Each structure stands twice: as structure tokens, then as C-alpha cells.
């Protein structure tokens, strides 16, 4: 970032949420870079930016789409870069129809299920086949690219056939109407500065400033960087927000180059690591998908991930899978039993955290482990979370303090309102004190994929123990109790490799776990030695490794993540500090920092280039490219895997080696971003007739209601938009900040931020109390009446936005400060690609004064719902039948959705249960 010439921070409040990372922005600014902050609020980031542009929450695709249109129609795109490294010239299947043709929908939409069949989105192949004839992909909600905010690697976990570059029909002149380039041009033509003014509330002058800033700071000699955080991801269109920015950055030639890119600013110490080595339902380590029920055999499963015939590193997926299975089941995993593939459980649909909460409410989940999280405060729709936990048989909370998720049964808001009585709650609660980061050794993976080892400073106090110790011990106990069982379902547990060397306190050695993650040779003269690269992984069981993308972290038997050479100067790349996956590459796709011939785009922006004398790539970083693959290499169609990469395939993890301006697969809600309004919005979508994302995932339940949108009856009961966010002084749901006096005193009370205009409209005094009411809850907050919040004029009418930090909660023992939780206001509706909830936009009412106590609080919420006429159906239809003129009109949807049985909530239905 320090190398950027222009930095656009959008969907992120970087100075507040990543202050130390912001030093690089400060440094770039001191060097003359232009900093622009696009945000609904004027924040501490805006205060030190060159310019703050106020935007209506959830309208980012309109703004970014208009920038794409500006770049395309004014010929500001970086032609050589786009031709060399993107899929601009690829031809798309002739059956493809854009939102332009279908009035806001892409081809393949099934209104009955609310899902897309993406067959028509594929590339056009020379053989005449469409790639869509390949295997049944693992598709559906949450089955898209599971990268979410992780962003950097578009590893495609769906299927791999038919994307060999040589098989794709292309038109290098970009004139064919079905080239990606022309489709892009048509698609974004309606995204104009005028539309931006209408939908985002951004003036043409501000748009012009932004457009000039990024185009003047892109090209051979200059680069622009985008930075985002959950301001982009927590929307029903979250993945598409990021896609829009990626398209823009590819057109401007800002990917894979120093000072360019799209920085995902993540909010937890190892949130990147927890997707790499995932505690996520749909993934196995290294972005291998969890098998679906349809993948009956290992072969089926592998066919669904990648074809050995495809190009790039995913062609070796079989090796990654076999090594994982071998690491987990050791000798029990053999060639004869498909490396114990049958030991893996199968998915039948989405099992994300919100689906799980729904299952809890239905009484089909007994036990719940809550590990360093505080869902009672930190997850959307806090009431749903707490009521769900009240239906459990047992709950294990592991944390540093008695957070609200551990004490809701005696002091939560539902106890206070009388909805729940402690004496009626069956749930057993185990509170297990956790170890802090200094009381255990291990690695965190930070936001740029850097894995850093922490040494243990001391033993945890009292009963406190690390997750590693706890789960190791739990595993031992479970295996002890099952020992001797002949039930086949217990084999995976009993055969599990669970022998780790112990330290003098009897706890497992985390370095040994890291070594297993790295992988080792099992046989041969190197038996027992660590693998140094995932290229060493074999499919014959002679090697094992728990997470292929982390292989190399223990290369040479040395913990590479613990490398900490003393700092000299401040080299921006720092090749020797810790370790970065994959293969210690600091900047992904850095092949693109050189032109087609392998020369740096300019002297000022040189980074990695081709040294023709030595016949290898060289430069300031490990090349993210085969080291000796010449820029002019063009392997024939018979080559496979990494050997099939051409000298131009800079985006080596993509099956076609190209940066995707158009996504022929991998996304479930469209190959191109299209703007839809949030689930709840007082604004009508004037971009298309379709109001909300047609592929969004809803959870229609009587306890998860939505407010009406636009001019629908009752929408004026919840007339204001609210958005949630963090403050510098606190951390997420407060478990690591509200128990600390030094942090609590800096922001002691829950507040909301409103404009003076809104304050006048509803009669609220500065720093007075206000009550906010959504269809889910009513909360109270002190009011910061400030010019930092500005009403916007959208579609000719004034839209007020309310800001709500979400750090406070009610209940919890010994918290220094507490207060109502902003997340209680939210409902649950999700992005279909990654199942992240929409917590950045909601509709609410606001009135002066404190909220009622006890039962009266529930009655207030109910009264507003009645006035608005909110029902289970409100806002739940996938498409807007009364508006669209498109052929998809399906009135029968109405009837189908009268009860709460939303088709998305199917995953657990098959087996019955207590329902």
C-alpha cells in the first residue's frame, strides 16, 4: 500500500479498525499519494483522507459500475495489460443472456427455487461443446468461491473442465459481440454518473474527482489500490461488491502490481487462517470442498474439484486430497479404501451458522461449542441466537471472561423481558476459561496471508487452557470411551491420528501440529522429513500433509513462521520475516507486474521480471509463477497441470490463467455484478425492476421478519437506513474490550450517530436517549448528533442513515461497560455465494427517549410490526413479480411461501428429527 499513488478506501474504516496498518496509508499520503474515503459516515479515516465521499449504504455496485463504464467508454483501460492477462477476449456461450436482456436477471434463473443454473454463463469452446456438459458441480448457496473477505486467491472449488485456454474461443480484436469485453461494455452502459447521483447520493463533481483520481493514477507508471473490509462483504451482494472492484482494477491494470490490488482488511487475528485451515462447514483445509452427498466416491469428488487435464495448480488436487486423508487417518488410509475417503461426512446443502441457529430453534441440535466468539452479541439477530441457545441440551463456552453468550440464561434481554425464565431453561452450560495469546504457542495468519508464530510466554492461570489442549484432551476422552467399539461409525474417530508429542505440562506441542499441517515424507530415504513444497505431494500415499497451501512452512525442518530477523530500514517486501502462503509469496499474481514480454511495466513500478540471460523470473519477491516459464512459452493442448501454463497466465490459480472480468463460474448469483437493493431499503431500485438480489438466501421464519421496502405499504414505519460498525476503542462483540477498563473508559456507552437534520425531524437532543425499532427488536442508545452524518438525496428524496457501533451487550458478568446490542436490530438474510449475513444495511424507526423495560419492550416491537403489516412473507419473494415485465412471473410463489418453510432451510429435513 505504501507504494500506491492513489488509495481508495471503500467499505472500510481503516484508520479506526486497522490503525497500525494505516501507517502505510499515512506514509503513502506523506509521499504524495491521494487518499479517498468512500463511506456513509465521515469517520476518523475520512478525517485524514484527501477527500471523503458520502455514499448511501449498499449502493457500492452502482458507484463502482459507473467507474467501470467511465473507464471503458473513455478508453481509459490499460489495453496491453487487459489483452495479456484478462479474459476480455474470451467468447461466452451464445445462450447467455445478460440483465440487459432479461430486465435485471441473468439467464438460467429458476424462480421456483430462487437459484441460477449457470450453464449458459460458460465460455464458448472451439470443440463446439459448452463446458457446461461437465460433471455436476458442487453448486448452490455457500458453494461458491469460499473466500469471502479472504479475497486474494480465486481458487475455484467447483469444477475444472473445459477451461483450458486453448479450447476457449477468443477474439483478440475484442469486437465480437459475445466477447467478455463487449458484454462488459453493454452490461455497465447503464451505470452512469447520473445514476450514481440518483442511487448513491454522490454528486457528479465528486464522481468526476474519484474517476479522475483513479484513472490518472493507473497505468504503466502509476498504480491505484482499493482497500475494503466488511463494509463490502456483509451484504446480500457482498461477493459481487468485491467482484466489481476486481473488474475495475483489472481494467486499470492494477492487479499483481506493487501499490495496486484490492486489500481485504480483516478483523480478527487469524480470520484468514480460519478459512485457510477452516472451521467452516463447506471446506476442508486448503480450500478443498467438503464432499457433497452426490460425491459418492473419491473419483466423483475429485472430478468435482478439478480435472487433471486442466492447467494450473488445481490440476494436482488429487495429491492435496490424498495427503490430507493420509495425515488424518495414517495407516488406515490406503489405496484400497480410497484413502479413507468414506470417513468424511457429506453435505446436503448449506450448514452455515445461521442455518445451524435455525436448527437449534427447531430443537435438532443438542450441543454447541462457542470458541472465542460471542454470538449473543456479535451475530446478526441476537435474539434468535439466544433463543436458539436456550433450546440446546448443552453449551460449551470457551472464553477469557463471562461473556453474554455464557450468561444469557440468567441475565440476557429475554430474561429481562420475561420471554424466558431461568428456571425453565434446560441447557447445561460449561464455561471453560481460555488461554490468552501469550499463554500458548502457535500461528496466526494475518490479512495478507502472512503466517506468524507466537512463542509461549507463560502457562495459562488456574483452569484456563488453550483450544489446542482442550480439544486434544477431549479427543482423547472420546476415543477412550469409544475404544473397543465395533460400530463402523466410530472407525474414523478411532483411526484418527491423534498422537502428538507432549510438553512438560502434558499438553500437545503445537509445533508438531504445524509439522503435520506442513506435511512429511512417509516412506523412502526421506521418511519423516518435512515436505518443502506442495509440489512434493504424491498420490501414492508416500507423503502426507494436512493443508497443502501451508506446505513449506516447515521446510528444512525449520519453523519458517517463527523467522524474525532484526529489522534494517523498512524494506516493503521483507522476504525473511515469517512465512506467507503459498510458497512464501508476498504478492500474489506478481507475474502481472511485468508486461507480456516479461519486462517491468515501468522503472518506477518494477517488481518481478523475466531475466532472459538466466532464463528465469527474478525481482523483489518470490515470483508467483513457475520460475523458469518464459513469457513467450505457449504449451500445446496436450499439456496439463502447471506445465500447461503459458507465459501469460499470470493468474495461475484460475483454471484459464486469466484475471476474470467475467466469471464463467464460481459465483451463484451472476457472472457479472448487478446492483440490487438490500433486503430492507427505503429506496426503489431504479437500475433494474428487480428490487432485491434474486439469488439472496433468506430465512423466512416468524422470528426473522423483514421490513417492507421502497414504497410498499408499511415501509414508512421503518423509514431510516441503519448500518453497523466498529470503533477503534473496542473489539467486535466486546469480549476482549468491554472487560478491560482502559478500553471501556474510552467508549463507555452504546450510541448512535445521526445527522442534525434527522435529530430535528424526530426531536432528539444531542447526547440524549433514543430508541431504535426494527421488525426484530427495540434498542436504546445515546445520540451523537453530528455533521459527520449527512442526509443524502436519493431518487429525489431525502434518505437518513443512522450509524450504530455493535460492541455492547446486555448481561455478562464483570463487564466494565454494557449496553444494548446493535446486532439485535438485524435480521438474517445472506449472500448466496458465501452465506455472509447482510449486517451493513437495515431499516428502522427512531424515536426520542429510552426504550420500555420488561414486556413492554416486546409490545413496542410488535406494535410497529402491526402498523407496518409485516408478515413472514414480507420481502421474502426471490423476484419482484409485481414489478418486472419479464417472463419469469410466478404468482404461485405467493402461495408456496405462506408458511415459514422456506425452501432454503431444507438441509436437515430429510432425516426428520423432532419437527
Partner 1 sequence: MARFSPLNWPVVRQLTTPDRFGRGEAVTSRQTRDLKPRTATADRVVQSVCPYCAVGCGQLVYVKDDKVIDIEGDPDSPISRGRLCPKGSASEQLVNAPGRQTQIKYRAPYSTEWQSLSRDKAIDMIAERFIESRRRWWQDTDEHGRPLRRTMGIASLGGATLDNEENYLIKKLFTAAGAIQIENQARI
Partner 2 sequence: MINLEESFQPGRKGFFTDTSICIGCKACEVACKEWNRNPADSTWQLSDSSYDNTTHLGADTWRHVAFVEQGRERIEQARQSGRQLVNLGMPGVRTEAATNVDVTPPDTPDFRWLMASDVCKHCTHAGCLDVCPTGALFRSEFGTVVVQADVCNGCGTCVAGCPFGVIERRKDGLVEPKTNRDFTAGEQAPTPHVGVAQKCTLCYDRLVDGLEPACAKTCPTTSIKFGEHADLTEQARERVRQLHAQGLTEARLYGANPNSGVGGTGSVFLLLDEPEVYGLPPDPRVPTADLPHMFDRASLAAVGMIAGVVLAFFTGRRRR
The region of 171-179, 314-322, 490-498, 842-850 touching partner 1 under the rule CB under 8 A is 490-498
Sign of CA dihedral 21, 25, 26, 31: positive
Q: Is residue 627 close enough to count as binding partner 2 by CB under 8 A?
A: no
Site string for partner 2, 48-77 (x = CB under 8 A): x-----------------------------
Contact present, 444 and 452 (Cβ < 8 Å): yes
Chain residues 759-788 in contact with partner 1, contact rule CB under 8 A? none
Chain residues 691-730 in contact with partner 2, contact rule CB under 8 A? 727-729
Query: Choosing among partner 1, partner 2, none, which partner's interface includes residue 367 (Cβ < 5 to 8 Å by kind)?
Result: partner 1
Q: Is residue 585 close enough to count as binding partner 1 by CB under 8 A?
A: no
Q: Catalogue the E-assigned strands of 707-841.
A: 720-725, 751-754, 769-773, 778-785, 792-794, 797-799, 801-805, 829-830
Chain residues 265-294 in contact with partner 1, contact rule CB under 8 A? 265-281, 284-285, 290, 293-294
Cross-strand bridge partners of residue 502: 508
Phi and psi torsions of 524, nearest 5°: 85, -175
Q: Is residue 430 close enough to count as binding partner 2 by CB under 8 A?
A: no
The rounded distance, in Å, linking the Cα atoms of 881 and 872 is: 17
Chain residues 375-404 in contact with partner 1, contact rule CB under 8 A? 375, 378-380, 393-394, 396, 398-402
Count of beta carbons in the 10 Å neighbourhood of residue 438: 12
Phi and psi torsions of 853, nearest 5°: -100, 165
Residue selected from 77, 534, 651, 751 as contacting partner 2 according to rule CB under 8 A: 751
Query: Choosing among partner 1, partner 2, none, which partner's interface includes residue 567 (Cβ < 5 to 8 Å by kind)?
Result: partner 1
Query: Choosing among partner 2, partner 1, none, which partner's interface includes residue 245 (Cβ < 5 to 8 Å by kind)?
Result: none
Q: Is residue 896 close enough to count as binding partner 2 by CB under 8 A?
A: no
Q: Is residue 26 close enough to count as binding partner 1 by CB under 8 A?
A: no
Q: Is residue 47 close enough to count as binding partner 2 by CB under 8 A?
A: yes
Contact present, 387 and 703 (Cβ < 8 Å): yes
Q: Is there a cis peptide before residue 582, judged by omega within 30 degrees of 0?
A: yes
C-beta of 537 vs 810, nearer to partner 2: 810
Closest approach, Cβ 47 to partner 2, in A, equals 4
| Of residues 61, 11, 101, the one with CA closest to residue 676 | 61
Contact present, 836 and 233 (Cβ < 8 Å): yes
Residue selected from 78, 207, 226, 472 as contacting partner 1 according to rule CB under 8 A: 472
Site string for partner 2, 441-480 (x = CB under 8 A): --------------------xx-x----------------
Q: Is residue 424 close enough to count as binding partner 1 by CB under 8 A?
A: yes
Query: Choosing among partner 2, partner 1, none, which partner's interface includes residue 550 (Cβ < 5 to 8 Å by kind)?
Result: partner 1
Query: Choosing among partner 1, partner 2, none, which partner's interface includes residue 365 (Cβ < 5 to 8 Å by kind)?
Result: partner 1
Q: Please return the burial class of 898, using the count of CB atoms within 10 Å of its CB with bins 0-12, 13-18 and 19+.
A: exposed
Total number of residues shown for the chain: 915
C-beta of 141 vs 671, nearer to partner 1: 141
Contact present, 773 and 844 (Cβ < 8 Å): yes
Residue selected from 292, 743, 777, 792 as contacting partner 2 according to rule CB under 8 A: 743
Q: Is residue 482 close enough to count as binding partner 1 by CB under 8 A?
A: yes
Query: Choosing among partner 1, partner 2, none, which partner's interface includes residue 296 (Cβ < 5 to 8 Å by kind)?
Result: partner 1
The region of 418-426, 519-527, 530-538, 761-769 touching partner 1 under the rule CB under 8 A is 418-426
Contact present, 317 and 305 (Cβ < 8 Å): yes
Q: Is residue 855 close enough to count as binding partner 1 by CB under 8 A?
A: no
Q: Is residue 296 close enough to count as binding partner 1 by CB under 8 A?
A: yes
Closest approach, Cβ 620 to partner 2, in A, equals 25
C-beta of 315 vs 370, nearer to partner 1: 370
Q: Residue holding cell 448457496?
A: 141
Q: Is residue 372 close enough to count as binding partner 1 by CB under 8 A?
A: yes
C-beta of 16 vs 216, nearer to partner 2: 16
Q: Please spell the DSSP secondary structure of 248-308, one letter per residue.
A: HHHHTT-SSSTT-SEEE--SSTTTTHHHHTT-STTEEGGGEEPPBTT--SHHHHHHHH--T
Q: How far is CA 406 from the centre of its chain?
A: 27
Q: Is residue 786 close enough to count as binding partner 2 by CB under 8 A?
A: yes
Cross-strand bridge partners of residue 445: 451
Binding-site size for partner 1 (CB under 8 A) equals 170
Count of beta carbons in the 10 Å neighbourhood of residue 896: 13
Contact present, 111 and 879 (Cβ < 8 Å): yes
C-beta of 742 vs 885, nearer to partner 2: 742
Contact present, 807 and 733 (Cβ < 8 Å): yes
| Of residues 571, 592, 25, 578, the one with CA closest to residue 263 | 25
| Of residues 171, 168, 543, the one with CA closest to residue 327 | 543
The region of 86-94, 182-190, 337-345, 598-606 touching partner 1 under the rule CB under 8 A is 337-345
The rounded distance, in Å, linking the Cα atoms of 329 and 493 is: 9
C-beta of 205 vs 862, nearer to partner 2: 205
Q: How far is CA 377 from CA 13, 384, 804, in A?
A: 21, 11, 13
Contact present, 772 and 778 (Cβ < 8 Å): yes
Q: Is residue 766 close enough to count as binding partner 2 by CB under 8 A?
A: yes
Q: Is residue 837 close enough to count as binding partner 1 by CB under 8 A?
A: yes
Closest approach, Cβ 59 to partner 1, in A, equals 23
Cross-strand bridge partners of residue 886: none
Binding-site size for partner 2 (CB under 8 A) equals 39
Query: Choosing among partner 2, partner 1, none, which partner's interface includes residue 566 (Cβ < 5 to 8 Å by kind)?
Result: partner 1
C-beta of 430 vs 767, nearer to partner 2: 767
The rounded distance, in Å, linking the Cα atoms of 253 and 459 is: 50
The three cell numbers locating residue 584? 512464501
Q: Residue holding cell 480460519?
A: 274
Q: Enumerate binding residues for partner 2 (CB under 8 A).
A: 15-16, 19-20, 22-23, 26, 30, 42, 44-48, 461-462, 464, 727-729, 741-749, 751, 766-767, 782, 784, 786-788, 816-817
Amino acid at each position: 500500500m505504501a507504494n500506491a499513488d492513489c488509495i481508495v478506501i471503500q467499505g472500510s474504516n481503516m484508520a479506526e479498525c486497522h490503525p497500525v496498518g494505516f501507517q502505510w496509508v499515512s506514509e503513502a499520503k506523506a509521499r504524495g499519494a491521494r487518499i479517498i474515503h468512500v463511506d456513509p459516515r465521515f469517520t476518523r479515516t475520512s478525517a485524514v483522507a484527501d477527500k471523503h465521499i458520502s455514499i448511501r449504504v449498499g449502493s457500492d455496485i452502482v458507484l463502482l459500475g459507473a467507474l467501470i463504464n467511465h473507464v471503458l467508454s473513455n478508453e481509459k483501460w490499460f489495453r496491453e495489460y487487459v489483452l495479456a492477462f484478462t479474459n476480455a477476449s474470451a467468447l461466452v456461450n451464445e445462450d447467455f443472456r445478460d440483465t440487459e436482456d432479461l430486465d435485471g436477471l441473468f439467464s438460467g434463473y429458476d424462480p421456483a427455487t430462487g437459484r441460477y443454473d449457470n450453464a449458459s454463463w460458460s465460455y464458448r469452446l472451439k470443440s463446439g461443446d459448452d463446458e457446461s456438459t461437465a460433471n455436476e458441480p458442487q453448486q448452490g448457496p455457500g458453494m461458491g468461491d469460499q473466500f469471502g473477505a479472504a479475497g486474494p486467491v480465486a481458487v475455484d472449488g467447483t469444477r475444472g473442465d473445459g477451461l483450458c485456454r486453448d479450447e476457449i474461443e477468443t477474439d483478440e480484436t475484442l469486437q465480437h459481440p459475445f466477447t467478455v469485453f463487449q458484454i462488459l461494455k453493454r452490461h455497465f452502459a447503464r451505470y452512469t454518473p447520473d445514476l450514481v447521483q440518483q442511487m448513491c447520493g454522490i454528486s457528479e463533481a465528486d464522481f468526476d474527482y474519484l474517476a479522475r483520481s483513479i484513472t490518472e493514477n493507473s497505468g504503466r507508471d502509476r498504480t491505484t489500490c482499493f482497500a475494503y473490509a466488511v463494509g463490502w462483504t456483509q451484504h446480500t451482494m457482498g461477493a459481487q461488491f468485491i467482484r466489481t472492484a476486481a473488474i475495475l482494477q483489472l481494467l486499470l491494470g492494477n492487479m499483481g502490481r506493487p501499490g495496486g490490488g484490492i486489500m481485504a482488511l480483516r478483523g480478527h487475528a487469524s480470520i484468514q487462517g480460519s478459512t485457510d485451515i477452516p472451521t467452516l462447514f463447506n471446506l476442508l483445509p486448503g480450500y478443498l470442498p467438503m464432499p457433497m452427498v452426490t460425491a459418492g466416491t473419491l473419483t466423483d469428488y475429485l472430478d468435482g474439484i478439478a480435472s487433471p487435464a486442466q492447467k494450473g495448480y488445481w490440476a494436482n488436487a488429487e495429491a492435496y486430497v490424498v495427503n490430507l486423508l493420509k495425515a488424518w487417518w495414517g495407516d488406515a488410509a490406503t489405496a484400497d479404501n480410497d484413502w479413507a475417503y468414506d470417513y468424511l461426512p457429506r453435505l446436503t446443502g448449506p450448514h452455515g451458522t445461521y442455518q445451524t441457529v435455525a436448527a437449534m430453534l427447531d430443537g435438532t441440535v443438542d450441543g454447541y461449542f462457542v470458541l472465542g466468539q460471542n454470538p449473543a452479541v456479535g451475530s446478526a439477530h441476537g435474539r434468535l441466537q439466544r433463543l436458539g441457545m436456550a433450546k440446546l441440551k448443552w453449551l460449551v463456552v470457551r472464553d477469557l471472561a463471562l461473556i453474554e453468550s455464557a450468561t444469557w440464561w440468567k441475565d440476557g434481554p429475554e430474561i429481562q423481558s420475561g420471554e424466558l425464565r431461568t428456571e425453565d431453561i434446560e441447557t447445561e452450560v460449561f464455561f471453560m476459561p481460555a488461554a490468552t495469546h501469550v499463554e500458548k504457542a502457535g500461528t496466526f495468519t494475518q490479512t495478507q496471508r502472512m503466517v506468524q508464530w507466537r512463542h509461549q510466554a507463560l502457562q495459562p492461570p488456574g483452569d484456563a487452557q488453550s483450544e489446542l489442549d482442550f480439544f486434544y484432551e477431549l479427543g482423547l476422552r472420546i476415543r477412550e470411551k469409544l475404544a473397543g467399539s465395533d460400530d463402523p461409525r466410530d472407525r474414523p474417530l478411532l483411526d484418527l491420528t491423534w498422537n502428538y508429542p507432549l510438553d512438560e505440562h502434558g499438553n500437545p506441542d503445537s509445533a508438531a501440529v504445524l509439522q503435520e499441517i506442513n506435511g512429511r515424507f512417509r516412506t523412502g530415504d526421506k521418511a519423516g522429513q518435512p515436505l518443502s513444497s506442495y509440489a512434493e505431494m504424491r498420490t501414492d500415499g508416500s507423503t502426507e500433509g494436512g493443508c497443502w497451501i501451508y506446505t513449506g512452512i516447515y521446510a528444512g525442518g525449520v519453523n519458517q513462521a517463527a523467522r524474525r530477523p532484526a529489522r534494517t530500514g523498512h524494506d516493503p517486501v521483507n522476504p525473511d520475516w515469517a512465512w506467507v502462503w503459498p510458497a512464501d509469496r508476498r504478492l500474489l499474481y506478481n507475474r502481472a507486474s511485468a508486461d507480456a514480454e516479461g519486462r517491468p511495466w515501468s522503472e518506477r513500478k518494477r517488481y518481478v521480471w523475466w531475466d532472459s540471460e538466466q532464463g528465469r523470473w527474478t525481482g523483489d519477491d518470490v515470483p508467483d509463477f513457475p520460475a523458469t516459464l518464459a513469457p513467450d512459452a505457449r504449451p500445446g493442448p496436450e499439456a496439463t497441470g502447471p506445465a500447461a501454463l503459458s507465459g501469460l497466465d499470470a493468474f495461475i490459480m484460475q483454471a484459464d490463467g486469466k484475471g476474470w472480468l467475467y466469471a464463467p463460474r464460481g459465483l451463484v448469483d451472476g457472472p457479472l455484478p448487478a446492483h440490487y437493493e438490500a433486503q430492507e431499503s427505503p429506496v426503489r431500485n431504479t437500475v433494474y425492476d428487480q428490487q432485491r438480489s434474486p439469488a439472496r438466501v433468506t430465512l423466512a421464519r416468524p422470528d426473522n421478519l423483514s421490513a417492507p421496502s421502497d414504497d410498499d405499504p408499511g415501509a414508512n414505519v421503518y423509514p431510516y437506513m441503519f448500518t453497523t460498525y466498529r470503533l477503534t476503542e473496542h473489539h467486535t462483540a466486546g469480549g476482549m474490550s468491554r472487560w478491560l477498563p482502559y478500553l471501556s473508559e474510552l467508549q463507555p456507552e452504546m450510541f448512535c450517530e445521526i445527522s442534525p437534520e434527522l435529530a430535528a425531524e424526530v426531536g432528539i437532543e444531542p447526547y440524549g436517549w433514543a430508541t431504535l425499532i426494527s421488525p426484530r427488536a427495540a434498542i436504546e442508545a445515546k445520540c451523537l448528533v453530528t455533521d459527520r452524518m449527512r442526509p443524502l438525496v436519493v431518487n429525489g428524496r431525502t434518505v437518513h442513515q443512522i450509524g450504530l457501533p455493535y460492541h455492547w451487550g446486555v448481561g455478562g458478568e464483570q463487564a466494565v461497560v454494557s449496553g444494548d446490542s446493535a446486532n439485535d436490530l438485524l435480521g438474517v438474510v445472506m449472500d448466496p455465494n458465501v452465506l455472509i449475513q447482510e449486517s451493513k444495511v437495515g431499516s428502522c424507526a427512531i424515536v426520542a427517549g429510552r426504550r420500555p423495560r420488561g414486556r413492554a419492550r416486546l409490545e413496542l416491537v410488535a406494535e410497529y410490526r402491526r402498523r407496518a403489516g409485516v408478515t413472514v412473507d414480507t420481502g421474502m419473494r426471490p423476484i419482484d413479480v409485481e414489478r418486472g415485465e419479464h417472463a419469469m412471473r410466478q404468482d404461485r410463489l405467493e402461495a408456496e411461501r405462506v408458511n415459514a418453510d422456506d425452501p432454503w432451510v431444507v438441509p436437515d429435513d430429510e432425516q426428520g428429527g423432532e419437527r
